[in-house]
Amino acid sequence: MAAPDLLWQCVKNQSCFIRKQKNFPVMTAEPGNLCGLNNFQFSGLASKKVLGLDSKKVGKKESIVLTTRSKRESRQYRPGVVLVTTGIKKGKKQGPEQLKKIIGATWNRPELLEMALKKYKKIKTSFKKNKTVKK
């Protein structure tokens, strides 16, 4: 596999996931990008340590999904199965503990842990429905 720096140089300005607008930073919609910024630190295409947190809706059921890169060497050369999705619990204590366990111990990226916890909280609050008052 090519070096991550070389991949980033190839992908940073020419990717189908890039979203550009005037007076805004360059954003990206690639899977495995935690913040959505077009930056090497958060890149899901070029980085070896991919981390993404998204919501997934199947029918009426909503869930939170963590996207990481597979550790198996055989999967690194197959783009269809290189990213692994894991369901995250929606409980008040279980979800953040699960994120701390996965990100802190496995990925050794403490700078992404704070961002992942903030995004987890935002996704969880987005699931709440507004109550309508009947008169």
pLDDT at 97: 92
Q: Which fold has domain 1-48?
A: Enolase-like; domain 1 (3.30.390)
Domain residue extents for the chain:
1-48, 51-127
What is the value of pTM for the model shown? 0.82
What are the two backbone dihedrals, phi and then psi, of residue 17, each rounded to the nearest 5 degrees? -90, -10
pLDDT at 107: 66
Q: What residue ranges in 1-135 does DSSP mark as E strands?
A: 18-19, 27-28, 51-58, 61-69, 83-88
Q: What's the pLDDT tens digit per position in 99-127?
A: 888 887 766 677 788 889 999 999 999 98
Whether 75 has a pLDDT exceeding 70, the answer reads yes
Q: What's the pLDDT tens digit per position in 17-37?
A: 999 999 999 999 988 888 889
